[in-house]
Structure 1
Amino acid sequence: MISVSIVLALVASAVAQAQAPLYSSPYHYSDGHTDRVNFTRLFSSELIFSDTWAKESWNGLVSFARADPVRCFGSDAGMKYDVAVLGAPFDTATSYRPGARFGPNGIRQGSRRLGVDRINVFHKIRVSDLIDVADCGDVPMTFVDSKVALRQLEIANAELLSREASHSFKASSIAKDGKFHPRVLTLGGDHTITLPLLRGVAEIYGPVSVIHFDSHLDTWKPKAMSGPWLPDEEIPVTHGSYFWYAHNEGLLAPNTSNIHVGIRGAINDWGDYENDREVGFVISHAEDIEEVGYKGIVKRIREVVGDNPVYISLDIDVIDPGMAPATGTPEIGGFTTREIKKILMGLEGLKIVGADIVEVAPAYDTQDEITSIAAANIGWDILALMAKTPLTA
């Protein structure tokens, strides 16, 4: 039989626990009451952004690699930065599996373990030591009209590019006006978004050499069809024809100084390769890596683009679907994530004026988020390349 003294002791312990503060820490979060937590203090931005523990464990607003979330088109429009991360939630010009409109969110989710303020051991730098990166959120792109949606992105991108970067250098800029402008890393979105992005880049730097990582050419010339379109109707741009439009608009560097890397998709006939050459591209196939290794691919890229300003456009389907299944048009036989990292590292020193990562469709991903994680790490490495090489003449 339990003694009265033991019962009284248990009751006293329970009462004491019920009256104890809900949270106890050296930050003194309690507002003086024993039954409440001062959540205003506990979740304050001061602690989130300055306290090491809070910053490392914080799981609130998700930005790319924990870059500062900025209202670039609102109250923070006057803030300066060197690279703007911009989401382009668009997939209404895709040909197979839709879902890339959710790519920007997926890539940001995949970047949660990264940080612009953490050391990239592969590149041996901390991005935030060299450049200021801001996450500008997503462009509000309508899903009912592709032409209008792409116009929305074009306007937003052009606005960011027209501003002044936070860092300048004694040497002159390669920009046409001689000034230092922010660069934009765009998270797609289907690959059609590259066309309006190139329009903005060409306005600042002139025609650029494109390094296009993809399993498909994306230079197909639009052809009129007897069914959907009337004889006088314009055929809309898609994620398979945007480079054809870019060439016709004079956005691509001349003299065949653009290159596809990782090509392995089917074509309609060999005339597609002739058309691709006319658009201004050289082709490096995915299987080339078995013959020449990643160093051979890097050598070919650098031979093609020379000293031109460079735009990197990376379709996540350049990675083998075993490592990146969540994409609209997967093709077997792609690069591994290690191979793409080595190829990107070999591009150090190129004047990268902008970049995009596209065709991530999280709905097709595994529960491990491996595609989103792969895309995020690729973006982090591209930021490292930008940080290492300023756009000086």
Structure 2
Amino acid sequence: MASNSYETGRLNLPFVGICTFGKYPYQPDWDAIDADVAVLGAPFDCGTQWRAGTRFGPRSIREASTLFSFGHGGAYDHEDDATYLPSEAVSIVDIGDADIVHTDTMRSHANIEFGVRKILEAGALPVVLGGDHSINIPCINAFAEDCEKNGPIHIVQIDAHLDFVDERHGVRYGH
């Protein structure tokens, strides 16, 4: 188990400072991503058919994730008696959010795809925080060239339900 090193460095407790995913470093320069994993927010909800609000998902996920950053050694799980994501095992950065142009689905999706492509160019694993169901589309599109070189990709989608259809009510780029 990694030590917490409370005696050295800043504590950077969950309730202080800038809210990034897991309190990992913020990297605003997408041409300087140097990490194993890069977290990108996709605060988009123009593809939802019911009600808006999922645009606040990335911010809420980041805020909740700070609770797992207590101390310097990673996220300790008392049930497993294990420390997950210790800083010496995997490097993680939060690159902020993709630019969202409210009411412009195609432009917003292009900006999300651009962010995922920058992560892939850096050789990092993209973790995208959404947003509505439609953000899968630009994320998958970003892998087009990568799949030609490296084969199939795997997507982990955490959702209450999966409503993946080609078109719903005449809308192609939504659910």
Counterpart contact for 2:39–2:127, Cα < 8 Å: yes
- Find the counterpart in structure 1 of residue 5 from structure 2: none
Compared CA separation, residues 224 and 193, structure 1 to 2 (3 A): closer
Deviation at 1:72, TM superposition (A): 3.0
Q: Which of these residues, 60, 66, 81, is aligned with residue 17 of structure 2?
A: 60
Deviation at 1:149, TM superposition (A): 0.6
Considering fraction of residues, name the structure with more helix. 1
Q: Please give the residue correspondences for 1:1-393 in structure 2 after superposition, counting only pairs within 5 Å.
A: 50-52=9-11, 55-56=12-13, 59-73=16-30, 77-115=31-69, 117-121=73-77, 122=80, 124-127=82-85, 128-163=87-122, 181-204=123-146, 205-222=150-167, 235-239=171-175
Compared CA separation, residues 141 and 208, structure 1 to 2 (3 A): same
Deviation at 1:238, TM superposition (A): 0.6
Structure 1 counterpart SS, 2:129: strand
Distance 1:223 1:106 in 2: 28
* TM, length-normalised to structure 1: 0.37
Deviation at 1:196, TM superposition (A): 1.0
User: CA-atom RMSD, angstroms?
Assistant: 2.5
Distance 1:107 1:187 in 2: 8
* TM, length-normalised to structure 2: 0.79
Compared CA separation, residues 118 and 223, structure 1 to 2 (3 A): closer
Percent identity (aligned): 28
Deviation at 1:126, TM superposition (A): 3.9
Compared CA separation, residues 79 and 193, structure 1 to 2 (3 A): closer
Distance 1:211 1:109 in 2: 21
Structure 2, unaligned runs of 5 or more? 1-7
Structure 1, unaligned runs of 5 or more? 1-48, 164-180, 226-234, 240-393
Compared CA separation, residues 56 and 222, structure 1 to 2 (3 A): closer
Deviation at 1:58, TM superposition (A): 5.5
1:309-362: CA deviation from partner (whole Å, max 9, x where unpaired) = xxxxxxxxxxxxxxxxxxxxxxxxxxxxxxxxxxxxxxxxxxxxxxxxxxxxxx
Aligned residues: 160
Computing the radius of gyration from Cα coordinates, the structure with the larger value is 1
Q: What letter is aligned with 1:182?
A: A
Distance 1:130 1:96 in 2: 41
- Find the counterpart in structure 1 of residue 4 from structure 2: none
Compared CA separation, residues 223 and 81, structure 1 to 2 (3 A): closer
Distance 1:68 1:117 in 2: 15
Distance 2:63 2:28 in 1: 19
1:279-299: CA deviation from partner (whole Å, max 9, x where unpaired) = xxxxxxxxxxxxxxxxxxxxx
Counterpart contact for 2:166–2:172, Cα < 8 Å: no
Deviation at 1:210, TM superposition (A): 4.0
Structure 1 counterpart SS, 2:128: strand
